[in-house]
Amino acid sequence: MKQSYLVGVLFSTSGPYALLGRDALDGALMALAEINEDPAFPFTLAPLTGDPGGITDRYQTISDALIAGGARHVVGGITSWSRKEMIPVVEKRNALLWYPCPYEGYECSDRVVYVGACPNQHIVPLFAHLVPRFGKRAYLVGSNYIWGWETNRIARKLLEDCGGAVVGERYLPLGREDVDRIVAEIEATRPDFVLNNLIGPSSYAFLRAYAALARRNPDFAPERRPVASCDLAECELDQIGEAGIGNFAAAVYFDSLDSEANRRFLAEVRRRFGDGRRVSAFFVCAYMSVRILAEAIRETGSELPEAILPFISSRSFASPMGDLTISAQTRHTAFAPLLARIAEGNIFSVVESASVPVDPDPYLADYQGLRPIGANAMERPALRVVRS
């Protein structure tokens, strides 16, 4: 009988950001199933799952229980708040956390593998695209915790650096949908664009209310004053409906990505989950977290972090979004950022993409202002305009 390793998979599949949690959980489980069916792996991976229900205080106890139950690795966490809760646990218990989501940066735990984008891979290229096309005056909204606060703070500095301004900044507690005052303030302040760091139902309510404003006043149509997000996923577009169309999103993966690797991947997704199934960066990054972990266990013959960590930075890993490499210095992943507009049929239509992966820079140590696209080709690859 094959040896089996336990892998903790810890996402909130109920609560305010359940859609993202379910998507990520499915991604992790699909990779586990693939590994277990593949004779090239001399072991199986068995999931230990838990559902914190979006309640932050549960992440610490549940992750601790998963590790106590025999899991040396935990794939999980959607919000930064939940990640910060789990880090002391994995550090204390010599386990590894695989975090598959975009986040605000300024962190580098020795016990976390960051398989999601950091700010130089999401908000910086997003603003480099938006500012020259729409203007330098932005309105910032976010959910009331560290992701919204810090991403909006970076946004403010990016705008101040290029002579722009923040005309308003508002936060809503997770799960709240009372967005009317925010939309009224946007109507009064007339920003060039809106950065939306709300998550879950707050974000959907906001996009619907903003679309209603645009129907009443065409001056707020997405062609004039779009909304842009760094955390919007395919699985959420149906919730948002028509209201999302024309608005922008930045991510390291969209299911519309036009590549042979992605076509093969999507065919496999549909075989397992059915024809209508759409997947997002959350799904794919959780999927890749498990794939990379499995490769590392196979190649090192160990599940110990001391063996896994040097290995994952020693080579690249094929993924639906191209080859991924993980920095030995920061354990963050190099990604080629994508910028898309939501098109008819709720498709993310890619408008700009980096031609090669952008090295992670979690502390924005190499930030040199919002360079016009193509001007900073030396350290970081330029983004290529696909369609505008």
Partner 1 sequence: MSPSIGIPNFRGWSAIILHRPHAAAEAITRQLERIGATARIVWPELDATSGSADVVFFDADLGHDGQFPWPPGEAPMPLIALLGSEAPGRVEWAIGQGADAHILKPIGSAGVYSALVIARHAFAARRQLLAEIEDMRDRLRRRPTVARAVIAIMQGEKMNEAAAFRRLRQIAMESRRTIEDAAEMVIARYGTTDDARDSA
Residues 88-107 close enough to bind partner 1 by CB under 8 A: 91, 106-107
DSSP per-residue codes, 202-258: HHHHHHHHHHHHHHH-GGGSTTTS-EEESS--HHHHHHHGGGGTT-EEEES--TT--
User: CB neighbours of 275 closer than 8 A, spacing ≥ 6?
Assistant: none
Nearest of 254, 214, 260, 225 to residue 351 by alpha carbon: 254
Smallest distance, partner 1 to C-beta of residue 327, A: 9
Q: Of 32 and 370, which CB lies nearer to partner 1 in the complex structure?
A: 370
Gap between the Cα atoms of 31 and 35, Å rounded:
6
Q: Which is nearer to partner 1, 19 or 159 (CB)?
A: 159
Indicate the residue type of 355: S
List the one residue from 63, 109, 229, 353 that touches partner 1 (CB under 8 A): 109
Pull the structure tokens for residue 44.
């199986």
If one asks whether residue 152 binds partner 1 (CB under 8 A), the answer comes out as no
- For residues 385 and 352, the answer to whether their CB atoms sit within 8 Å is yes
**Residue closer to partner 1 (CB basis): 130 or 209:** 130
3-state secondary structure of 321: coil
Work out whether 85 is an interface residue with partner 1 (CB under 8 A).
no
Q: Contact between 121 and partner 1 (CB under 8 A)? A: no
| Shortest CB 152 distance to partner 1, Å | 13
Quick one: 34 or 91, whose CB is closer to partner 1?
Answer: 91
Kindly give, in sequence order, each residue whose CB lies less than 8 Å from that of residue 169, ignoring residues fewer than 6 positions away.
139, 140, 141, 152, 156
Is 157 an interacting residue with respect to partner 1 (CB under 8 A)?
A: yes
Shortest Å distance, C-beta 104 to partner 1: 12
Classify the C-alpha dihedral 137-143-147-149 as positive or negative. Answer: positive
Minimum distance, C-beta of residue 160 to partner 1, in the bound complex (Å): 8
Q: Which stretch binds partner 1 (CB under 8 A): 58-66, 109-117, 230-238, 270-278?
A: 109-117
By CB under 8 A, what part of segment 355-374 binds partner 1?
A: 362-367
Residues 237-276, interacting with partner 1 (CB under 8 A): none
The answer to whether residues 51 and 63 touch, using CB atoms and an 8 Å cutoff, is no
165 binds partner 1 (CB under 8 A): no
If the CB atoms of residues 208 and 331 are measured against partner 1, the closer one turns out to be 331
Binding site for partner 1 (CB under 8 A): 91, 106-111, 154, 157, 160-161, 329-330, 362-367
